[in-house]
Structure 1
Amino acid sequence: MRVAAIQMVSGVSAEANLRQAHALLSGAAHAGAELAVLPEYFCLLGRRDTDKLAVQEAFGGNGGAIQLFLADAARELGLWIVGGTLPLSTPELVHVRNSTLVFTPGGQCVARYDKIHLFRFDNGHERYDESRVLEPGREPVMFDLPSRDGHRWRVGLSVCYDLRFPELYRAYAARGAELLLVPSAFTHTTGQAHWEVLVRARAIENLAYVAAPAQGGLHENGRRTWGHSMLVDPWGVVLQTLAEGAGVVLGELDAARLQVARQQLPALEHRVL
């Protein structure tokens, strides 16, 4: 199965971001991708954290502009689309969920994952605290993706800072996950230090493919993200990556390769704790 990890440098205009996302998704579809995964905050990286509140949407029903965009793009392009993250409303409206939505090629939303772990960082120069605007999710979420070659992929969902919590991915592996998705917006500081080693570690320890699309570059709001979107195989080999700038990272997922790796090194069967 050919998979596309979409890298963006999202700005402060949701409309402009959706136009860029569509162009990148279209490129992925024309390159033969069956699944395309957008990065965290693909629809908006505002000047302030609270800008998310202005574009929040109620989940489901008639949806909002972002959900309609994802559904329409999936139908138009014949793609499975994982919509990075978008802000979904909570009852009190002063916080939102940072949510990943999964759409089939028919435009149906079949899974929703709300980011569980909220990023906080302060090195004296950069300060982030997602809990000021975001409400954490509580539940891991998986979905099944039947590929054109007849294999049914078990896919585990996560977002960005979740990457630092291996127990989430171990739980997915215990439930049969073969592909782990990590749409992200790592800061340049933390990404330079830890991004690749964390992505590869999650692949190695769970003998699973990892697709990690990211924000990558200098944004209108002054924030700089690390980028280096990548696809990693179950042995920890980086199949493809893109350092900075908007683009599409394409790679082939091979179910037979995954099975061989798990047979040769049956570490998942040897787990004790």
Structure 2
Amino acid sequence: MGIDFQGRVAIVTGAGGGLGRQHALALAKRGAKVLVNDLGGAVDGSGATVGAAQAVVDEIRAAGGEALANGASVTDFAAVEAMVQQAIDAWGRVDVLVNNAGILRDKSFAKMSMDDFNLVVQVHLMGAANCCKAVWPHMVAQQYGRIVMTTSSTGLYGNFGQANYGAAKLAQVGLMQTLAIEGAKYNIHVNALAPTAATRMTEGLMPQEVLDALKPEAVVPAMLVLAHESAPTRTILCAGAGTFEAAHITLTQGIHLGIGADVPEQLAARLAEVTERAGEQVPQSGAAQGTNEVGKALAARA
């Protein structure tokens, strides 16, 4: 088994069922000690019981692995800090964080309450940020860390009825981009996984034949690759039904139009040139945009 987690300690949030459970089981099977976090709530985030997390812990232990249960809500930073401390107290380190916890409150934007918008952002975005913040000093101190965000095709490309979920999911990519840059010198790699899987959160949305192909287990290899010592950093891997893709946020070459009075009209007329994808790049940081813009401006003056 080349992708080995012997001696590593992993925290997986939202690991009481579905995809998170599969992540936790796979990490444990490959040698990781796993802290299984789950609030134990319903898909919409209501309710709480540590039973779901404990059941996965029991499963891991029955197979000969090491695991602990935790019932913290990822929206509660103090509880998240205590969760990380629980892993440190038990095993002395935290090597892997898989930010998987999430909820759904789907409605068209016209009908969505801002409370439902806010709660989804709190769980997905602030939940991931809280967990990253709590593990960060430990990963810096040990000069090693692997963080996996869970984004979504909804965040990357949109989906009707999921404005709140999509906004929160793409925000995790934004968080990944900067944390990967800041973590580089500490050997902290940060990546994102966009899974397509049939879980509690997707049942009733697709025909059975499709659901059968979209087993959550089929997504797990992508998580293992992103969480492993050999992981890339700043990579968005998409996975579902045993198929794997990558998503990129790109910058086109663009054109320089200057700052004359008729630039709005010129831009409107030449928009196809601006959006032309030949020669586009995947920037290494946000600075690439300014570099391209100023470079073209200076070249135009020459």
TM range (shorter): 0.3 to 0.5
**TM superposition score normalised by structure 1:** 0.39
- Which structure: larger Rg? 2
Query: Higher strand proportion, which one?
Result: 1
More contact order relative to length (CA 8 Å, sep ≥ 6):
1
